[in-house]
Amino acid sequence: MPSFLPQYPLEPNPLLLFGFLLLAGVIGGEVVQRVLAVPRIVGYVVIGLLLGAGGLNVLDARLTREAWIFVELALGLLLFELGRRLDFTWLKRDAWLAATGVLESALTFWLLFFVLTLFDVSPLYAAVASAIGIATSPAVVMVVAQELRAEGQVTERALNLTAMNSVISFVVVTMLLAGVHHEYRADWGTVVLHPLYLLLGSALLGLLASVLVVGFARWLGKSGREHFVMTLSMIVVTIGAARLFELSVVLALLSFGVLSRNLDRRHDLMPFDPGRLGQMFVVVLFVVSGASLRVEDLVAGGTLAVVFVLTRFVAKSLGVMSFTRFSGVRPGTAGMLCLALTPMSALAISMVRGTTELYPEFGTKLGAIVLSAVLILELLGPIAVDFALRRAGEAVAGQKPSV
């Protein structure tokens, strides 16, 4: 063979991978949406499942791992936006909303923990799985809301509750890391310091990024295009820095979002809307998260997964139903909120992956409990949010069925 020809086996490069994922997602999403009339993101997940290790194995475990960086980028973007939605002044004005967030998170953790131990899951696994269960998928809620151009009390409250339970979930999971380290006989320094390093380090990174972004924004003056590029680059740099320092992308970007809004007293930073660029990453996000799940896990852990999903729904609904009416919203809002908080997706997968990187054996067992539930909710969650926002009358009228 002449040396200028490509050598066999052909080595896929990241660009080819990214483009392929996008293309597969867009085409697959459209097909699934036309055939089943469900939100497109369900289609992306289905394509991921089909291409992934559990399906045709086009995206094998190694490629999925490589593609995970795109998930982190997409998730980072979404978490930044979600963080900017979390409004402390609102939580002060409507204390019942804050109370709802705390109550539904606490109930979800304890009820899941109780039920999982009933099913003979050992306490440490049950605790970490329950902590992961606290979080609603920010990606699903945000993407469905954006695609429906939904606006209103259900949408705004669902997003704020999602931001709250994502933070709480992440903090609890990180604290439980101490238990996992202890289980694997790590030294006391690691047991204590690793969770602290993750929490404080990531929060500090978020703080640094928001101080910088607000400073740059002031210096640039009010120019939409410059603010957009600058904010986007700060997001990417922050994601990269979080990886560099072995910190949490999730917490760093959430705190970046929250602080960049709540510390920007003079409103120097203009509203950030990733628009179509964001949609592109969303496609890849859902295809890859679909590819990292396997249908056969569902067969193995099916009962437990169903129990997990139902318990979580009951716990969240109890929390939401108890307090929401005191916020003075219209009757029916609470019910729609319960549905809107059901999704689990890439955030949960990424938390499982976090433990797998530390202790592969622990991560695999944890995955068996959590990931089959995630699989169910990857498919049902978007449909639930879509239904809730439409039913609440918050989707833009005249929109065709589903996203």
- Residues 14/17/18/20 CA torsion (nearest 10 deg): 160
Does the footprint of other proteins cover residue 90 (CB under 8 A)? yes
Exactly one of 219, 222, 244, 246 binds other proteins (CB under 8 A); which one?
Answer: 222
Q: Segment 247-306, which members bind other proteins (CB under 8 A)?
A: 267, 270-271
Query: Rounded to an integer, what distance in angstroms lies between the CA atom of residue 294 and that of residue 242?
Result: 28
Of 68-76, 120-128, 176-184, 394-402, the segment contacting other proteins by CB under 8 A is 394-402
Query: Rounded to an integer, what distance in angstroms lies between the CA atom of residue 190 and that of residue 85?
Result: 34
Of 54-62, 150-158, 178-186, 315-323, the segment contacting other proteins by CB under 8 A is 150-158
Size of the site for other proteins (CB under 8 A): 24
Does the footprint of other proteins cover residue 93 (CB under 8 A)? yes
Min dist CB 205 to other proteins, Å, is: 24
Does the footprint of other proteins cover residue 104 (CB under 8 A)? no
The answer to whether 254 and 82 are in contact (CB under 8 A) is yes
Does the footprint of other proteins cover residue 329 (CB under 8 A)? yes
CB atoms within 10 A of CB 297: 18
Of 35-43, 51-59, 289-297, 323-331, the segment contacting other proteins by CB under 8 A is 323-331
Closer residue to other proteins in complex, CB, 160/355? 160
Does the footprint of other proteins cover residue 65 (CB under 8 A)? no
Closer residue to other proteins in complex, CB, 14/328? 328
Does the footprint of other proteins cover residue 139 (CB under 8 A)? no
Does the footprint of other proteins cover residue 226 (CB under 8 A)? no
Closer residue to other proteins in complex, CB, 60/151? 151
Closer residue to other proteins in complex, CB, 10/397? 397
Which residues form the interface with other proteins (CB under 8 A)? Answer: 84-85, 87, 89-90, 93-94, 149, 151-153, 156, 221-222, 267, 270-271, 327-330, 394, 396-397
